[in-house]
Structures are given as structure tokens and as C-alpha cells.
Chains A and B, each alone.
Chain A
């Protein structure tokens, strides 16, 4: 092939004033602004752009759209490198670097090209037949290295991606003549219209003058110029990749790659009331031996390269055709100044009428077929069987015009079914999908006037209700005839040369025949056995030929063979486009504490806990977090500590039935609480499993304050509301989540009250005046404060709930005032150490999806309480009453030195063998000076005093089963 640039006015898509240069395979390639990588490579005479997937045969550019099977490149370098980009779909830009896929060490000297010499041994299914002994796994790594398309970028993608949500009355997909007409008539009917076009501009297949049919171009041109004044929003370089339920379309827009481009790609999610599919048709390839040689292309692609990019794909073109469009291509190429040597028409009888106009000088060969292509890395001639004789023609570019395949991917995605039109040899939409209309070539309507009439009618005010109607009139398309003649078959016999059905996956006509012989006959088997229609192009050019061949081999029509369901995405979509802006910190933003600055000043080590960024501890230089937690816990028990408990879940329950409602939600009884009283309770799921825990306090007769765990804050409020709205619908109560309004500063330790008094808290809070498990509403420096005496540390402890913006100032005041009292700030890890010492459960750590309240020491609760509270009935099932359930116990290492790791399995004998339980929490207790642990152990409460092994990574740690509370079991300390 020897492509070259044509003179203006050809090349309406490129700006010849703006030159640029990019690199391909290490070579410098000149281009104009508006060129795709493919058009620039063709213009520079580059024929080979990659090696094929399986056989590593040289391949060139084949199409001029996203159906491209062979021009698949890696684009960009470093972290920006993106594999599997269609050269036909990527705009050339200054400095861009593109790399051919699938070759090593270089495109010209590809080491694996030797594979093509063994092609005879690599038929469909050869993997399954060849690499069986002794096991596929042995061969897999080497084969995977050879296979694959391209290389991923390494590092974090530095580019910007956007996501937008849109709504519109009418979404028209495809801005060809039919799509533009539909958009115009919708706009004229007063609808808001969004028109999306995958190419750089509207116009579609008629966006180039045809000397034999000037009218089509004039109409298209006229439609284009009225779009904007009619109020149609047009977005180009915007491909709809998916249609989802209820008329949601997802599109990927690629702005022209300029320095000012706001982003590299933009994902649009469009909800429409009506969707019009005007997605056109894709040309069907011609099959003949060596039809994969660089220089063999779709005829329509050659037309488009000439008209849009001003690029001739060869100096002497031969057109192989099975229908009338080959003649149109010949006319258009000649009008562009390209020599067309011959038209090789497979059909015996020609019904081409006026299509012969303007073709004088072109050799017309009816009842003829291409039976061989000369040249390895570029077409250098062609052999033709013509009416019983063989001829050879000198050519450097071979265009195939095998008919048209309506582009029905999106229609199929939306649930549409396809019907086979034997006369036209194509699949077309066969039944109405609500809200979706298919028009133009996508509907199998190839006559311009019929397509325009249908499009104009969709939103015609005169005939409402025709939205889903099928196209009126005939198809206006002279169908292809691909049946090979006897003489062609005779001449082909014994000739070398593979006929490629799927150029991307190296699937040949022989592979399809093999699949038929080996009984892989259904379309789904055919696809998986031969790999036809897989990978980045999803068989856009190959599927139809594969189905027809399989049908022919098995005596069925293509619709009896069937079509696979089209699934999103219509074209490859980068993960970056899907992620949009949700990367790095924005992937899952952490919630930050209002008092973050206070913690940072005290040297906090921030870690994530349940979606919050919280201080794990305040380690000193060189101190490990575990040592830091022990130091802080020790200081709390010795003096006083400050803890930011703001992430704690907080819910208010209001209403005359609030108390009754809470009785239904909790294992504990809340209705008997006096105003100001507080009680610990477990929340169960309907399966009886512990879902959350926390303290409930009564603010007033009809008003309660509910604390949940930090992780359960949102979940619990949602569950409360679900029960209230869906089951206990007669109860007059409101669930008001207030977690983010209230902060929580916890002051714990023997000097806690001393410190509060020092900064001016009211004397009603003194331990003598305010008992453990009570709540007082008070004010601190003008701010409302709800002070709860409750303790997760086992020390005298005040949980000061205060407006969330006041926590920083309050912590700062307490910090300064507490210097003489030995105040410290303590983090989550120190709190965990203290609660393990006390044997308090941490829901989700000590408990799991099987833990019932009786397993953690609430055995009598369910039987004592008569209410039908949530989960009660499940506790009474036989499994819930079993005596061998896993129960919460404490563990001590017998040597009092070896820490017992979380997750260690408890078993008397070495594994394998049944485990009796596992360790759920563990620490080295600063109060006791040795390791302690909590565990869930079968019948654990009966086994106190028993010794057994805690098995961890093959090591046995001898442990003793004890009660779960290790420190101050009488709870003297928390009363102050």
C-alpha cells in the first residue's frame, strides 16, 4: 500500500494550516489538526501498524471507525499509556506517542512472527487440544505472555476525568441524515433534544459529495446547518457505550486533545424520555484468501479517508464487491482523483442501473472473485477468477464492499430482538422496545428519502403515537450476494491463503468449518470455541460473516444459528473514564473530626476507623503504637484522659410512643427509664444476631437520646426508620439522626470530675450528685451540653455531647486546665486496650454474623422481657438454645508473657482437627502487666480454668480460660 495526501478541497475534517507531528513505533509522523492516527499513518504510506493476536501476521488499518479490528495501538507513555486504542478513533496531537500492539522486539522484526509458519497447527480450539498433558496450568504462563493486546500504563493516571448527569426529552444517537432529521423534528415539536455523534462532526455516511447523487450531500449539508438554530444540542466525539434500564444512556466524550481541554474523557449519564437510535450500519467485509494483508480495507473506509482526511489509501485501487455499494465507492474514489483499476463483482447478474455512470475506464468484472493477494506486508497485486479464467491485476489497495450490517448493538442492549431479512442478508430490529425508536440504516432502511420520512414522522405533531412504529416502506438497499460460484470454489481448492473472518482474533473460514464439524454449532459455542467476535472490536465487522458461514455449513439460516446478546460497552471504555473524579482521596473520602487541629497539635497518628479519620494514638518519638496505647491507657487509669468520641452515632427518638418503640428495638427495656436515666442495650437483627449496641438515655417523657457505635451510626438510624415505617406503623414516633450535629468529648479517669470542675462545669455533674448511667443537660460557656456518665474504659467517665463545632475549643480548655492533673489525650487504640481489660464487647470485632446475645452474657434477657422485640423469636429457635454455642471468654497465656494473636484458633490438639473457637481481641494489659485476650469459645462459660492451645501460624500458645473481665470486676472505679 502506498497512501498519500490528496489536494484540497478533499479533507473537510483536517486543517491544513495546522501541522503537527507525533511518533509511531519510534518514527516521526506528520499530520494535520483533525487527523486521526490512522489517517496520518495512511497519508504517510505506513502500511503495517501491528501484528495479529494469534499468528502475528502483519496487519494494517482496515476501517475508518470504532469497528477497527487491526489498528489497535498503545497510546501515551508512562502512567498515561493506554492500551487497546483504535488508531481510527484517536486524534493525532503534537508529541503524541503511539506504539504498535502485539510485537516484540519491534514491528518489523517480531520474534513471534514465526508462529504464522505453524498456522496449520493452530486451528480453533488448539489450546484445548494441545496443552492438556499433564496440565494446562503448565503452559498457561508462557501462552499468556505471548497473547494479549498492549501494555498497561504504570503509575497513577495524572489526567483529569469528568462525569456529568443529564436529562433530556429526546436523545438521538448518531448524527447522520436520519438522526439529524429526527433531532430537528423533535426540536420543532418543542422537545429538548440532545444529539450525540461519535465522529468529529455530524453528517454520517453521506457527509461527502457523490457526483452521481449530489442531492444526498445537499440534504445532509442543509440538515447540518439548521441543527443549532433549531435548538438541538449537538455533542461530537461522544460515543454512547451503553443503554440501561428506563432509558438511561451512558456516553463517553473525548474532547479534542488540546492543552486547554478540560479533561481527557468525560462520562455522560443521560436520562431521556425517548431515545432514537440512528447508529447507521457497518460495512460487511469480503472474504477471500489473504484478505488480512495490509492494504485490504473496507470500501466505505477508503471513501471516508478521501473525503474527510484527504487521504488516498493507494494509487491503484481494486474493489471487490458483492453488492451495489462497490460501484458507489468507485465513483467517489474516482471523483477524489484516485485511480480505480477494476470492480470485481461476485454476482452473476448485475442490476446496477445508473450506478455505472462515471465509471468509464474502470474494468468491470462480473461473476468474478478475488482468489489471492500478492504481497506480505502490503498488497502488491491480486489474482481474480473471472468467468472461468484466471487474471492478475496490479494494485496496491483492495477495497471490500460486502454489504451492510445495521448497527444494532445499542438496540440489543436495550432488550430488542433481531430478525433476519434473507432478501437483504442482514439482521434488523424486529420488535418495539418501549421508548426506543430505531431509524435509518440501523433499522435496515438504506433509502435516504424513506429514512428521512420515517425520522420526520417520529415526532410529527400530525400523527402522534407513532414513536415506536417500525419503519414505513421498503429497505431501499440492493442486497449483497455472497454465495461463492462453483468456478470460484473450484479455483480456490488447494490454493494457499487463509480467509480471515475475524481479523482481530485470527479466526478463519476453516476455523468456522472446524467448529461446525466438531459440533460447536450454536452461536454461543461458536464464539467461545473459535474466539470469533471477542476482544476490543467485539466482532463489529466479523460476526455477520461468521454466522452466515456457520449457517451455510450446517444448513441453517443465520437467525437459526442465532446472535449473541450485545452487552455494554459498545466500545472499550477506560477505567479512568468510569472512575471519573473518584480517585485517590476522593475515592472514598474520610470524615474528619471538627477538632482535627487539636489532635494534630498533640501529635496524633491519624488512621481510618469506619470511614472516619481518627487519632489511633499520640505516639512519642520512637514509640510504637502498641506501646503508646499502653502508656495512654495507664495514664487514664492513673490520672485523666481526653478522648474525641464525636463519630459515635447519635439519634433522637421523639413522640408519645418513643418508649414503646425503643422497647421493640432493644434487648433491654427502655420504657422503664426515668427522665435523666440511661441504660446499655443490644440491638438485634430479626435473626437475633447482635447488630449494634449502645446507651439509651431519656431526655424527657417523650424524648430519648440514643448512642450507637461509630460504625453503626447510619445503619442503625436506617434500620429504626424501616421498622417504624414498614412494620410498627401505628407507633407515633420520629427517628432523628443527629450524629453530625453533636460532638462528643469524653473525659475519663479518677481525676475526671476534678478537671471538669476546674474548667467551670456545673457542680450538678459531680460524682456525688450525678450517678453512673445518668444524663444531665447543662450549658458550658453558652453552649448546650448533654453530659452522660457512662464508661467504656472502666474509669469515672463523662461523655460531654456538645455542638460539634465546640469540640476543639472544649478539648483545648480541658488540655490546658489539666496540665497539673496529668492530663493526656488518648486514641482509639488505648480505648480498645481499656475495654479489653474490662471485657466489654466491640460489636463486629468480638461478635460476628452468628453471635446471639446469650453468647456474650445476656442469657436471661430474652426470656425476661415479654415484648415481641426485634429478634426475640429467633433467639428461641433450637440453635439459639443449644448448649455448645460459642461464648465470650477471657484468655490468659499460661506463661503470662506470650501475646495471643487475634484470629488464633483454640483447640486442645494440633490442627487439623476441630477448632473450639477463636481469639477475637487481644492486647498487653498495662493494668495487669501481661497479655490478655478475649475469645469466642464453644460452651466457653462452662470451661473456665481449662487450658488449651491457641494455634497461630503453626505455633501453640498455652492459654487458660477465664472470665472475660480482667480488671476491677466489681466496677468500683467507674463510680469515682
Chain B
């Protein structure tokens, strides 16, 4: 079980959080093609390494935030706000 640093509450065990999938997925507009819409709904990068993802401290402050996490080592390289852009890999530490 990982430990994530909620930006509001500090380090907490993973089971206080809810995983929300990849971050920075852009929601297309209504007039997009079926292909674009299905790419938005179903297709994700899932890289075997660093990936930006969103988490909610659901059994805590209830706030969503972003994490840059290595899916192979579970190293969390950065925690940043929901509307912030993704920091460069190896960048900002929590």
C-alpha cells in the first residue's frame, strides 16, 4: 500500500484515497468525431514509467489533486494542483 502526500492533509495511506485515472485528458467538444470521442472515453497511455494521474483524498479533505507517479517503482515525483500543468519529469518534489 502506497503512501500519498495529500496537498492539504499531508502523507496518508493509499486506502484513504480514490484513484481517478490519467490526468490532463482533454474532453472534446460536442461536435467532435466518433473516433475522437471514443479515444477520449477508452484510450489511455498507461506508460510503464512516469505518468500523471489524479487522486482524491476521499476519506479526508475530499479534494482532488494530481500526482506524477512511476507505475513501475511507485515513486511519486510530484504532487500538484488539479488545474496546474504537469511538471517536467524529475521536477518538483512534494
B-binding residues in A (CB < 8 A)? 244-248, 271, 415, 434, 686-687, 718, 721-722, 725-727, 729, 868, 872-874, 877-878
B residues near A245, Cβ cutoff 8 Å: 1-3, 74
In the complex, A245→B13 CA distance in Å?
10
Q: Which B residues, 62 to 94, have Cβ-Cβ distances below 8 Å to chain A?
A: 62-64, 73-75, 82-83
In the complex, A275→B64 CA distance in Å?
31
Contact assessment for B34 and A877 in the assembled complex, using a CB-CB cutoff below 8 Å: yes
A residues near B29, Cβ cutoff 8 Å: 868
Contact assessment for A722 and B56 in the assembled complex, using a CB-CB cutoff below 8 Å: yes
In the complex, A721→B61 CA distance in Å?
12
Task: Tell whether A726 pairs with B37 under 8 Å between CB atoms, given A245-B74, A248-B1.
Answer: no
Contact assessment for A722 and B62 in the assembled complex, using a CB-CB cutoff below 8 Å: no
B residues near A725, Cβ cutoff 8 Å: 56, 63-64, 82
A residues near B63, Cβ cutoff 8 Å: 725
Contact of A687 among B20, B41, B58 (CB under 8 A): B41
Central interface residue in A434, A722, A877, by most chain B CB within 10 Å: A722
In the complex, A686→B82 CA distance in Å?
20
A residues near B8, Cβ cutoff 8 Å: none
Contact assessment for B54 and A271 in the assembled complex, using a CB-CB cutoff below 8 Å: no
**Interchain nearest-CB distance for A712 vs B (Å):** 16
Central interface residue in A246, A686, A868, by most chain B CB within 10 Å: A246
Contact assessment for A726 and B64 in the assembled complex, using a CB-CB cutoff below 8 Å: yes
Contact assessment for A868 and B2 in the assembled complex, using a CB-CB cutoff below 8 Å: no
In the complex, A721→B57 CA distance in Å?
12
| CB closest residue in chain B, given A868 | B30
Task: Tell whether A722 pairs with B20 under 8 Å between CB atoms, given A874-B37, A874-B41, A877-B37.
Answer: yes
A residues near B34, Cβ cutoff 8 Å: 877-878
| CB closest residue in chain B, given A869 | B30
**Interchain nearest-CB distance for A164 vs B (Å):** 14
Q: Which B residues, 8 to 64, have Cβ-Cβ distances below 8 Å to chain A?
A: 13, 18, 20, 27-30, 32, 34, 37-38, 41, 54, 56, 58, 62-64
15 A-B pairs within 8 Å (CB atoms) are namely A245-B2, A245-B74, A248-B13, A271-B13, A687-B41, A718-B58, A722-B20, A722-B56, A725-B63, A725-B64, A729-B83, A868-B29, A872-B30, A873-B37, A877-B37
Contact assessment for A718 and B83 in the assembled complex, using a CB-CB cutoff below 8 Å: no
**Interchain nearest-CB distance for A192 vs B (Å):** 16
Contact of A873 among B30, B56, B64 (CB under 8 A): B30
Contact assessment for A873 and B32 in the assembled complex, using a CB-CB cutoff below 8 Å: yes
**Interchain nearest-CB distance for A542 vs B (Å):** 31
Determine chain B's interface SS by DSSP, over half rule.
loop
A-binding residues in B (CB < 8 A)? 1-3, 13, 18, 20, 27-30, 32, 34, 37-38, 41, 54, 56, 58, 62-64, 73-75, 82-83
In the complex, A474→B82 CA distance in Å?
51
| CB closest residue in chain A, given B75 | A434
B residues near A271, Cβ cutoff 8 Å: 3, 13
A residues near B1, Cβ cutoff 8 Å: 244-246, 248
A residues near B74, Cβ cutoff 8 Å: 245-246
The 9 closest A-B pairs by CB, nearest first: A246-B3, A725-B64, A245-B74, A245-B2, A246-B2, A868-B30, A248-B1, A729-B83, A873-B37
A residues near B32, Cβ cutoff 8 Å: 873
In the complex, A521→B20 CA distance in Å?
43
Contact assessment for A248 and B3 in the assembled complex, using a CB-CB cutoff below 8 Å: yes
Contact assessment for A686 and B41 in the assembled complex, using a CB-CB cutoff below 8 Å: yes
| CB closest residue in chain B, given A872 | B30
In the complex, A434→B41 CA distance in Å?
37
**Interchain nearest-CB distance for A163 vs B (Å):** 13
| CB closest residue in chain B, given A729 | B83
Task: Tell whether A729 pairs with B13 under 8 Å between CB atoms, given A248-B1, A877-B34.
Answer: no
In the complex, A244→B38 CA distance in Å?
36
In the complex, A271→B64 CA distance in Å?
24
Contact assessment for B82 and A726 in the assembled complex, using a CB-CB cutoff below 8 Å: yes
In the complex, A872→B28 CA distance in Å?
12
In the complex, A868→B20 CA distance in Å?
21
**Interchain nearest-CB distance for B34 vs A (Å):** 6
Contact assessment for A718 and B18 in the assembled complex, using a CB-CB cutoff below 8 Å: yes
A residues near B75, Cβ cutoff 8 Å: 434
**Interchain nearest-CB distance for A654 vs B (Å):** 15
A residues near B18, Cβ cutoff 8 Å: 718
**Interchain nearest-CB distance for A244 vs B (Å):** 5
In the complex, A729→B28 CA distance in Å?
16
In the complex, A428→B3 CA distance in Å?
28
Contact of A727 among B27, B30, B73 (CB under 8 A): B27
A residues near B37, Cβ cutoff 8 Å: 873-874, 877
**Interchain nearest-CB distance for B49 vs A (Å):** 15
B residues near A873, Cβ cutoff 8 Å: 28, 30, 32, 37
Q: 16 additional contacts, CB 8 Å, given A873-B30, A874-B37?
A: A245-B3, A246-B2, A246-B3, A248-B3, A271-B13, A415-B73, A718-B58, A721-B62, A725-B56, A725-B82, A726-B20, A726-B54, A727-B27, A729-B82, A873-B28, A873-B37
Central interface residue in A247, A726, A877, by most chain B CB within 10 Å: A726
In the complex, A868→B64 CA distance in Å?
23
B residues near A878, Cβ cutoff 8 Å: 34
In the complex, A874→B40 CA distance in Å?
11
| CB closest residue in chain B, given A721 | B62
**Interchain nearest-CB distance for B40 vs A (Å):** 8
A residues near B28, Cβ cutoff 8 Å: 873
**Interchain nearest-CB distance for A965 vs B (Å):** 33
B residues near A247, Cβ cutoff 8 Å: 3
In the complex, A686→B39 CA distance in Å?
13
B residues near A415, Cβ cutoff 8 Å: 73
**Interchain nearest-CB distance for B93 vs A (Å):** 14
In the complex, A877→B39 CA distance in Å?
13
In the complex, A727→B73 CA distance in Å?
29
**Interchain nearest-CB distance for A115 vs B (Å):** 44
**Interchain nearest-CB distance for A962 vs B (Å):** 35
In the complex, A722→B58 CA distance in Å?
10
A residues near B20, Cβ cutoff 8 Å: 722, 726
**Interchain nearest-CB distance for A737 vs B (Å):** 9
Task: Tell whether A722 pairs with B64 under 8 Å between CB atoms, given A246-B74, A872-B30.
Answer: yes
| CB closest residue in chain A, given B63 | A725
| CB closest residue in chain B, given A737 | B62
**Interchain nearest-CB distance for B7 vs A (Å):** 12
| CB closest residue in chain B, given A867 | B30
In the complex, A246→B4 CA distance in Å?
9
B residues near A872, Cβ cutoff 8 Å: 30
| CB closest residue in chain B, given A434 | B75
In the complex, A302→B49 CA distance in Å?
49
A residues near B83, Cβ cutoff 8 Å: 729
| CB closest residue in chain B, given A246 | B3
In the complex, A721→B64 CA distance in Å?
9
In the complex, A244→B15 CA distance in Å?
13
In the complex, A620→B37 CA distance in Å?
55
A residues near B3, Cβ cutoff 8 Å: 245-248, 271
**Interchain nearest-CB distance for A395 vs B (Å):** 51
B residues near A721, Cβ cutoff 8 Å: 56, 62, 64
In the complex, A878→B34 CA distance in Å?
9
In the complex, A687→B82 CA distance in Å?
23
In the complex, A687→B13 CA distance in Å?
31
In the complex, A686→B27 CA distance in Å?
10
A residues near B13, Cβ cutoff 8 Å: 248, 271
B residues near A687, Cβ cutoff 8 Å: 41
**Interchain nearest-CB distance for A343 vs B (Å):** 48
**Interchain nearest-CB distance for B58 vs A (Å):** 7
B residues near A686, Cβ cutoff 8 Å: 41
| CB closest residue in chain A, given B29 | A868
| CB closest residue in chain A, given B31 | A873
**Interchain nearest-CB distance for A83 vs B (Å):** 28
In the complex, A805→B3 CA distance in Å?
38
In the complex, A245→B11 CA distance in Å?
14
In the complex, A343→B63 CA distance in Å?
69
| CB closest residue in chain A, given B66 | A726
In the complex, A760→B58 CA distance in Å?
42
| CB closest residue in chain B, given A730 | B83
